[in-house]
Amino acid sequence: MIADNNQVELSIEQIHKVTLDIVKRMSNICEKIGVNYYVAYGSLIGAVRHKGFIPWDDDFDVVMLRNDYEKFCDYCIHHQDEMKPYKLLTRKNEENYPYNIARLNNMDYRAVYENVQGYDSGVFIDIYPLDGAGSKAEQVIQRVKKKKSDLFRITLWSIDDHYTKSTYHKWYRSVAKYVVRSYAKIRGSKYFLDKMENFKNLYDIKKSRYIAEMTWDSGLTLYEKKWFEDYIYMDFENLKVKVPVGYDEFLKCHYGDYMKLPPVEERVPHHEYKVYRR
């Protein structure tokens, strides 16, 4: 999607303001229908370390256990008209939507992406489902991690909108990428997104000691299910948000010493999009 050259790009401070309204709307819906969410990833670091956004971060992440995730998505899809300008995007209700996670959008705004198949997006928050991941960590990782990582790489090539050369220095890496990406385009993104989605069925969450983000992203990080058996509230800018009771363990397994600031040169947004008012 191409932006009008006369439009002014939103600043990160403006994106933060709009994002907070989306978080508030999401939280209200969860309260209304009786589901839990947990602030996660960089946004959870922001809550713990900054009491709000990491100043250079340009998105907001939450996770939900699979049953709550599906209940939340179904509610938003069936109440789409009354939720305007907010709109939940999933593969169930948006034909060209290229992710196996949901995004709750404010459609008064328009996000323009650099290299993703076209779909209509606003300012958004990411909502990741967590699925069962068994009870024997080494066996689960051995069975799933590499397969998931390889499939995710091909899935990204299936949803991009133009070819970019491999970042590896060896010429044959770029050739291999070109060939595999061409195959991915022929099969179509739905085929690979469906294969990623199938990972949610590998383990019964009720019988699992671990849970994980099974259907999106590369690699595999296992979380103790008990970390998400309850929540506490934390300050996030002008809101109170839910974080998992095991937030410290969750962050350490992802980031190590998460209270340590990154080098100055790394304090930049990491997402490839720009946002404009419609």
Residue 223, pLDDT score: 98
User: Residue ranges of the alpha helices (H) in 160-206?
Assistant: 171-187, 189-197
Q: Are 223 and 211 in contact (CB under 8 A)?
A: yes
CB atoms within 10 A of CB 198: 12
Please state which of the ranges 46-55, 120-129, 232-241, 258-267 shows the lowest mean pLDDT. 258-267
Residue 9, pLDDT score: 94
Question: What integer is the mean pLDDT of 149-153?
Answer: 96
Question: What integer is the mean pLDDT of 250-260?
Answer: 96
d(CA 74, CA 122): 20
Give the pLDDT confidence of 101-122 residue by residue, as tens digits. 999 999 999 999 887 888 999 9
Q: The tokens of 50 are what?
A: 């900054």
pLDDT above 70 as % of the chain? 96
Q: The tokens of 182 are what?
A: 């061409």
d(CA 218, CA 254): 13
Q: Which residues pair with residue 211 across a beta bridge?
A: 132, 223
d(CA 164, CA 178): 9
What's the pTM?
0.93
Q: Which amino acid is at 140?
A: V
d(CA 32, CA 55): 31
Q: Which domains does the chain have, with CATH numbers?
A: 12-130+226-277 (3.30.460)
Residue 168, pLDDT score: 62
Residue 273, pLDDT score: 86
The answer to whether the bond into 85 is cis (omega within 30° of 0) is yes
Q: Are 37 and 66 in contact (CB under 8 A)?
A: no
Question: What integer is the mean pLDDT of 209-215?
Answer: 98
Residue 114, pLDDT score: 81
| Residue position matching structure tokens 């969860």 | 30
Residue 2's pLDDT band (cuts 50, 70, 90):
very low
Question: What integer is the mean pLDDT of 197-209?
Answer: 98
Residue 176, pLDDT score: 86
**Mean model confidence pLDDT for the chain:** 93
Give the pLDDT confidence of 27-68 residue by residue, as tens digits. 999 999 999 999 999 999 999 999 999 999 989 999 999 999
Please state which of the ranges 127-131, 166-170, 228-232, 236-240 shows the lowest mean pLDDT. 166-170
Residue 174, pLDDT score: 82
Residue 3, pLDDT score: 46
Residue 167's pLDDT band (cuts 50, 70, 90):
low
Residue 238 to residues 36, 106, 145, 183, 222, Cα–Cα distance (Å)? 20, 19, 38, 48, 31
Residue 268's pLDDT band (cuts 50, 70, 90):
confident
